[in-house]
Amino acid sequence: MKLAILGAGDVGRSVADLAGDYGHDVVALADSTTATVDDDGIDIDGALERKLAGDALGSSDLETVFEADYDVLVEATPTTLGDAQPGFSHTKRALEADRHVVLANKGPVAERYEELRALEAASAGSIRFEATVGGAIPILSTVEDSTPQAVTAVRGVLNGTANFILTRMAAEGLDYEHVLAEAQDLGVAEADPTFDVDGTDAALKFVILANVLADGGFALNDATVDGIQNIPGSALDLAAEDGRTIRLIGEATRDGVRVGPRLVPENGPLAVTGTRNIVQIETRNAGSLHSSGRGAGGPETATAVLSDVGRLPPL
């Protein structure tokens, strides 16, 4: 497949870097200001070197990407809430041009799912978005394989930053602010960790899951979301007295989405430690399935994007 990649952050760059290993060509790569386009395949190493050196990625602008001869648009621009722009427009343009779209951007899938599906129905192309939920962990494809109608709920830990903080608090008996500062020093938490610790990031992923289970109907506003900012170290100590611990757990069903700190058995499957993610897929006929792995990171998330590309039918 010929890929056009929008977004040159960790994920976009990793997709470009790894595409060759998966047998795909990259014909365009763009960040928010410039683009490099070549129908015979761009010089990926050169483009990435320029990007990392802080220079312009290329000499073209975004418009030229849509004129390129591509099969799949990889939408890896930053997630935005509300109208989910510009990710939504990028997706729309590609579908209207009868191309496939693989999203790593959570915004359009969480906030404008029905519109995406309507655009897809009118297009020869398809959309896939495995990378939006749980990075490298094959969650959506597992739901798809089990058929969404036979999945009754998906629960789990899908934010590594919040999980890292809770794990450290429980292990060291430290309070939230202390561990957050440490996580920022280690680069696990962003300078502004709000979306991670207030539950928004996890909620977007569970909204996407609920949309897949119920074939639409959910946006972030429909989710009940609580964060971990108010959890003191002492609450984790108390939970441990009872053989339990506290994790930021999300739940998606056809009835709704809920994210918040919950008590789980200390040695149970959902009590993953550090930045690890896990989901439990509850199925009607096959019991529960658990998948755990790295839920973030450039190369990890890029593998989910490239797996999606591999599942697309030829145009």
Q: What track of x and - describes contact with another protein for positions 36 through 75 (by CB under 8 A)?
A: ----------------------------------------
Site for another protein in 171-210 (CB under 8 A): none
Which of 226, 202, 224, 220 is closest to 277 using CA atoms? 202
Distance between CA atoms of 188 and 197, rounded to whole angstroms? 12
- With vertex at residue 267, the alpha carbon angle to CA 261 and CA 272, rounded to the nearest 5 degrees, is 55
Q: Using the rule CB under 8 A, which residue among 57, 239, 304, 306 binds another protein?
A: 239
Give the binding range for another protein (CB under 8 A) out of 22-30, 86-94, 131-139, 281-289.
281-289
According to the annotation, is 251 in a ligand binding site?
Answer: no
The reply on whether position 270 binds another protein by CB under 8 A is: yes
Instruction: Supply the DSSP string of 255-290, one letter for each residue.
Output: S-EEEEEEEEETTSTT---TTEEEEEEEESSS-EEE
Place of tokens 């952050």: 9
- Percent of the chain as helix, strand, coil, to the nearest 5: 45, 20, 35
Residues 272/170, Cβ–Cβ less than 8 Å: no
Q: Which helix H or strand E contains 198, and what residues bound it?
A: none
Binding region for another protein (CB under 8 A) out of 28-36, 104-112, 183-191, 285-293: 285-293
Q: Catalytic site residue 2?
A: no
Please select the residue that binds another protein; options are 61, 222, 242, 255, rule is CB under 8 A. 242
Q: Is 264 annotated in some ligand binding site?
A: no
Which helix (H) or strand (E) segment is 73 a member of?
Answer: strand 72-75
Interface with another protein (CB under 8 A), residue from 237, 255, 284, 311: 237
* Residues in CB range of 93: below 8 A, 6 or more apart: 66
Shortest gap between Cβ of 46 and another protein (angstroms)?
Answer: 48
Q: Does 256 interact with another protein (rule: CB under 8 A)?
A: no
Determine if residue 227 is labeled as part of a ligand binding site.
Answer: no
Q: Which range, of 32-40, 41-49, 72-80, 262-270, touches another protein by CB under 8 A?
A: 262-270
Q: In this chain, which of 268, 274, 310, 311 binds another protein, going by CB under 8 A? A: 268
Residue 129 token pair: 């978005």
279 known member of a binding site = no
What's the closest the beta carbon of residue 232 comes to another protein, in angstroms? 6
Q: Which two three-digit tokens encode residue 307?
A: 């797996």
- Beta-carbon contacts of 192 under 8 Å, excluding residues fewer than 6 positions away, are none
List residues forming the annotated binding site for NADPH: 106
Q: Given the rule CB under 8 A, which residues bind another protein?
A: 153, 155, 226, 230-235, 237-239, 241-244, 246, 249, 251, 260-265, 267-270, 280, 282, 287-288, 290
Active site residues per annotation: 205
